[in-house]
Amino acid sequence: RKIIFEKQWFYLDNAIGHIYGTTFEVTSGGNLQPKQEVEETTTETKEAGTDNRNIVDDGRSQKLTHDDIKALKDKGIKGQEIVQQLIENSTTFRDKTEFAQDKYIKKKKKKYEAVIAIVKPSTRILSTMYYAREPGKINHLRYDTLAQMLTLGNIRAGNKMIVMETCAGLVLGAVMERMGGKGYGSIIQMYPGAGPVRAATSCFGFPKCFFDNLHEFPLSKVDSLLSGTFSTETLPSEPEDNAQVGEESNGLTDEKQISLQDTEEESTTETAMEINQTDEQETMDLNAEDVEFKENKEKENKENVREKQRKQWERRKKLIEAAALLREKNADGLIVASKFHPTPLLLSLLEFVAPSRPFVVYCQYKEPLLECYTKLRERGGVINLKLSETWLRNYQVLPDRSHPKLTMSGGGGYLLSGITVVLDKGKSDSGDLEALKMEEPSSKRCKVQDLHC
Amino acid sequence: MSFVEYEDTIKDGDTAIVFLGHESMFPVKVQHGTVTQTKYGVIRHSTDLIGKKYGSKVTCSKGGWVFILHPTPELWTMNLPHRTQILYSTDISIITMMLELKPGSIVCESGTGSGSLSHALIRTVAPTGHLYTVEFHQQRAEKAREEFREHGVEHLVTVTNQDVCKNGFGVSNIADAVFLDIPSPWEAIGHAKSALKAEGGRICSFSPCIEQVQRTCLAMEEYGFTEINTLEILLRVYNVRTISLQIPDLGKAAEDNSSAGFDSSNPSNQGSPCANLQQGTVQFKSGVPLREMVGHTGYLTFATKS
């Protein structure tokens, strides 16, 4: 398969069998060739100037013309040699300072010596890549902000996490990496629209078993789940107490669900859902076959495509599993990073989280989080609310040339984090104390206003 | 309680976090018959804590109340007894991600110090990973061992009391990642390389001064580390406040002001004393930066062995 990267095309076949981190050079045929460790033998008579007082920019310092360089390239000459030629034909090169020479060589190397390293996917690599290449798809969530989320959320093996994200599945993948797959807890992904997007998740290359405990639940059914009117359909494996509720609203929700799932199917092919996932579904189908047969008979007049039915039934089963997990209301944390307004998401989804558990909300903008902060305070049941942002600064470290590279302020987004506590039933009795403890800033505010008046 | 697993109820022997409000909290060791004094009164462990749910509100003797929280590495970092300067969660988070740590990772660390980072590392690599931590100060090494035991994570960590610069980490070719927080990290780079797996791994060094970073980078290059990258991360915290700014009196008649709909964005600001005056105010919510913030903790230098 042909792959294009940084204006070059190549085939990956030759890279198989090498360890991660191996560097390759692209040859003319688009084949990759492992690059040997080059011994830097350019220790010829090192000549260098001390400053640039005599260097004039007349545009004629390079004696090779555009056409010459193109000719060299067309001949398939190694990039290294082109760079050497450029240096030899630069009249000012010898007058440049040692540092400037270094910089010149580095720049030319970058242009003419294409070297590709193949590395193993990880949250570090993928989040850096997504932020640099497609920040819009991940709501400008910078990698250091994602790192904060994972730590503040106390993500670890054994947790039962609720994740609501519209970051192409990057946040989900990061959480999955930290939880370590099968047997180490579960994740319930809340999704808007027809189905969860997991394009970035698939880049992690997780083994199949990582998806066994990954559930999904449509955001549009959260309200009905909270109010207890959620329809669970009539399934043999389902406990009786829910069946009654299911029957009442069956007609309506059933219809809705089917149409919803139809669209879901279309969109999943688009968003390149996991190959692993479909595999997994197949294996699950086997042990569920007999039940499914019954299900089919009942609906034969409605639909006669058996395959579609099976998928639908499979989805419904997973939906019910997810609903049951949520209904326990004992999740170990909540992670939100979406394009939606965070306040309603948080007010609803926090209901599913156990007390004394952390939650983290990401937003590209600060203002919605200010509102969310206020609303959460009104609601109660949360403490240690913190609105924060991180700045990241990269450094160039070279002998006698160390300095900050670039500042990445703004653009990295904001986080609101906190810890859930048992929600007070009779809120009024502790009202006074609460006011005393929580509203301390208000006394300060009064002072400021006093000054104004 | 365990630092690597959530539990619902408080038991005898647990470490719990007492939350007093306004970021003011402290850790307690839950023990039958013990009492803890707070500014809201006394907490009796046997009746007030044991058997209660984490996250519940506990009423103290003077009628005040506190929340009891399940311990996490992050809460521990904010409350642990300092024996050294510690790493805080902001740096810890980027270290954890950049070292690519996950369940099952084998990590080497030096020095152990107060164990702030150690707890976070253990949390991330549990239940199948392991932390080898080296501390040359005997007392601190002892204290760290004791804490790991108390926190139910001793099976996930090995504390060695030796000088990492001279004797290394005491293991070779098994680590996925190495972390150094010592005054002269460049002297330990060789040992770090041999501790890492043959197929490679990640390294991070934390240093407050740029001169230390330079020497470390040179050493890393010398030992064949690649992808050398130095960065710094800063945390900005915002207070959420409602601010009201007064509209200046430019000599216009009061009617003009109000008819222009300009006096106040929020007409229901009866709480403000200024509302009584002729001029209006504009109210808005703002995230106000703290007056002082941490400007520098240290430079983090990452590299790859491949």
pLDDT at position A259, please?
40
A387 band by pLDDT with thresholds 50, 70 and 90: very high
Judge if A93 and A22 occupy the same domain. Answer: yes
Which of B50, B71, B92 delimits the end of a domain?
Answer: B71
Query: Is there a domain that residue B182 lies in?
Result: yes
Chain A residue nearest residue B274, CA to CA: A453
Question: pLDDT tens for residues A302-340?
Answer: 556 788 888 888 888 889 999 999 999 999 999 999 999
Nearest by CB: A397 against B8, B54, B214: B214
Q: Cβ–Cβ of B72/A154 closer than 8 Å?
A: yes
Beta bridge partners of A366: none
Query: Is there a domain that residue B15 lies in?
Result: yes
Q: What is the mean pLDDT of residues A275-301?
A: 47
Chain B residue nearest residue A398, CA to CA: B214
Q: Cβ–Cβ of B277/A430 closer than 8 Å?
A: no
Asked if residues B180 and B203 have their Cβ atoms less than 8 Å apart, the reply is: yes
Query: Is there a domain that residue A305 lies in?
Result: no
Beta bridge partners of B57: B67
Dihedral sign for Cα B144, B148, B149, B154, please.
Answer: negative
Judge if B186 and B119 occupy the same domain. Answer: yes
Is the pLDDT at A298 greater than 80? The verdict is: no
Judge if B88 and B218 occupy the same domain. Answer: yes
Query: Is there a domain that residue B208 lies in?
Result: yes
Which of B71, B98, B125 delimits the end of a domain?
Answer: B71
A45 touches chain B (CB under 8 A): no
Query: Is there a domain that residue A275 lies in?
Result: no
Per residue of chain B (306 residues), what is the pLDDT tens digit?
Answer: 689 999 999 999 999 999 998 778 999 999 999 999 998 889 999 999 999 999 999 998 888 889 999 999 999 999 999 999 999 999 999 999 999 999 999 999 999 999 999 999 999 998 999 999 999 999 999 999 999 999 999 999 999 999 999 999 999 999 999 999 999 999 999 999 999 999 999 999 999 999 999 999 999 999 999 999 999 999 999 999 999 999 888 887 655 545 444 444 444 444 444 444 556 899 999 999 988 888 899 999 999 998
Query: Is there a domain that residue B254 lies in?
Result: no
Judge if A110 and A127 occupy the same domain. Answer: no
Give the torsion through C-alpha atoms of B271, B273, B275, B279, to 10 deg.
Answer: -150
Domain of residue A51: give its range: 2-38+46-118
A132 touches chain B (CB under 8 A): no
Query: Is there a domain that residue A320 lies in?
Result: no
The CA distances from residue B305 to A21, A36, A234, B98, in Å, are 9, 16, 56, 13
pLDDT at position A304, please?
66
Judge if B83 and B178 occupy the same domain. Answer: yes
Judge if B22 and B118 occupy the same domain. Answer: no
Alpha-carbon span B200 to B174, nearest angstrom: 10
The first and second tokens of residue A223, run together, are 């309200």
What single DSSP character describes residue A83?
A: H
Alpha-carbon span A52 to B21, nearest angstrom: 62
Nearest by CB: A21 against B68, B128, B200: B200
Alpha-carbon span A58 to A22, nearest angstrom: 42
A101 touches chain B (CB under 8 A): no
* Nearest CA distance, A416 vs chain B (angstrom): 10
Judge if A67 and A207 occupy the same domain. Answer: no
* Nearest CA distance, A438 vs chain B (angstrom): 7
The first and second tokens of residue A137, run together, are 């798809």
Q: Residue A226: which H helix or E strand, with range?
A: helix A222-227
Query: Is there a domain that residue B290 lies in?
Result: no
* Nearest CA distance, A215 vs chain B (angstrom): 20
Judge if B28 and B99 occupy the same domain. Answer: no
What single DSSP character describes residue B154?
A: G
Asked if residues A345 and A336 have their Cβ atoms less than 8 Å apart, the reply is: yes
Judge if B148 and B160 occupy the same domain. Answer: yes
Is the pLDDT at A278 greater than 50? The verdict is: no
Asked if residues B169 and B160 have their Cβ atoms less than 8 Å apart, the reply is: yes
**Burial environment of residue A34 by CB neighbours within 10 A (0 to 12, 13 to 18, 19 or more):** exposed
What single DSSP character describes residue B47?
A: I
* CATH at B43: 3.10.330.20
What single DSSP character describes residue A46?
A: -
Selection from B259, B297, B301, B298 nearest residue B280 by Cα: B259
Domain of residue B183: give its range: 75-234+295-305
Q: Cβ–Cβ of B285/A367 closer than 8 Å?
A: yes
Name which residue leads in pLDDT, A150 or A249. A150
- The answer to which of A117-121, A378-382, B99-103 has the lowest mean pLDDT is A117-121
Judge if B27 and B161 occupy the same domain. Answer: no
Encode burial over B88-125: b for 16+ CB neighbours within 10 A, e otherwise.
ebbbbbbbbbbbbbbbbbbbbbbbbbbbbbbbbbbbbb
Query: Is there a domain that residue A271 lies in?
Result: no
Judge if B166 and B147 occupy the same domain. Answer: yes
Asked if residues A96 and A103 have their Cβ atoms less than 8 Å apart, the reply is: no
Judge if A64 and A148 occupy the same domain. Answer: no
- Residue list, annotated binding site of B for S-adenosyl-L-methionine: 114-117, 135, 163, 181
Query: Is there a domain that residue B58 lies in?
Result: yes
Query: Is there a domain that residue A80 lies in?
Result: yes
Query: Is there a domain that residue A179 lies in?
Result: yes
A152 touches chain B (CB under 8 A): yes
Judge if A78 and A160 occupy the same domain. Answer: no
Asked if residues A207 and A181 have their Cβ atoms less than 8 Å apart, the reply is: yes
Judge if A26 and A159 occupy the same domain. Answer: no
Test the A interface: residue of B1, B3, B6 with most A CBs within 10 Å: B6
Nearest by CB: A392 against B228, B233, B246: B233
* Nearest CA distance, B185 vs chain A (angstrom): 16
Test the B interface: residue of A126, A151, A353 with most B CBs within 10 Å: A151
Q: Which residues of A touch B104 (CB under 8 A)?
A: 180
Judge if B123 and B194 occupy the same domain. Answer: yes
Question: pLDDT tens for residues B166-203?
Answer: 999 999 999 999 999 999 999 999 999 999 999 999 99
Which of B24, B53, B71 delimits the end of a domain?
Answer: B71
The CA distances from residue B271 to A392, A407, A441, A443, B289, in Å, are 40, 41, 14, 12, 24
What single DSSP character describes residue A186?
A: E
A335 touches chain B (CB under 8 A): no
Chain A residue nearest residue B244, CA to CA: A449
pLDDT at position A235, please?
41
Tell me which amino acid residue A350 is.
Answer: L
Chain B residue nearest residue A122, CA to CA: B100
Query: Is there a domain that residue A264 lies in?
Result: no
Specify the residue for token string 């600060």.
A366
Residues 63-82 of B with CB under 8 A from A: 64-65, 67-70, 72-74
The pTM of this model reads 0.81
Residues 377-396 of A with CB under 8 A from B: 383-384, 386-396
Average pLDDT, chain A: 76
Judge if A29 and A174 occupy the same domain. Answer: no
A413 touches chain B (CB under 8 A): no
Judge if A207 and A87 occupy the same domain. Answer: no
Chain A residue nearest residue B95, CA to CA: A147
Give yes or no for a cis peptide into A135 (omega within 30° of 0): no
A154 touches chain B (CB under 8 A): yes
Q: Cβ–Cβ of A387/B238 closer than 8 Å?
A: yes
| Count of domains for chain A | 2
pLDDT at position A45, please?
53
Judge if B216 and B188 occupy the same domain. Answer: yes
Residues 6+ away with beta carbon under 8 Å from A247: A234
Query: Is there a domain that residue B99 lies in?
Result: yes
Asked if residues A233 and A316 have their Cβ atoms less than 8 Å apart, the reply is: yes
Q: What angle do CA A283, A120, A109 make, to 5 degrees?
A: 150
Q: Which residues of A touch B274 (CB under 8 A)?
A: 449, 452-453
Q: Cβ–Cβ of B127/A184 closer than 8 Å?
A: yes
Judge if A53 and A20 occupy the same domain. Answer: yes
Q: Assign residue B96 a region: left if phi > 0, alpha if psi is -120 to 50, beta otherwise?
A: alpha
Judge if B199 and B144 occupy the same domain. Answer: yes
Nearest by CB: B126 against A144, A157, A370: A157
Which of A118, A149, A167 delimits the end of a domain?
Answer: A118
| Count of domains for chain B | 2
Judge if A84 and A15 occupy the same domain. Answer: yes
* CATH at B203: 3.40.50.150
Query: Is there a domain that residue A235 lies in?
Result: no
* CATH at A150: 3.40.50.150
* Nearest CA distance, A96 vs chain B (angstrom): 24
Judge if A134 and A113 occupy the same domain. Answer: no
Judge if A346 and A394 occupy the same domain. Answer: yes
Q: Cβ–Cβ of B273/A446 closer than 8 Å?
A: yes
Question: pLDDT tens for residues A340-362?
Answer: 999 999 999 999 999 999 999 99
Q: Cβ–Cβ of B64/A433 closer than 8 Å?
A: yes
Judge if B138 and B213 occupy the same domain. Answer: yes
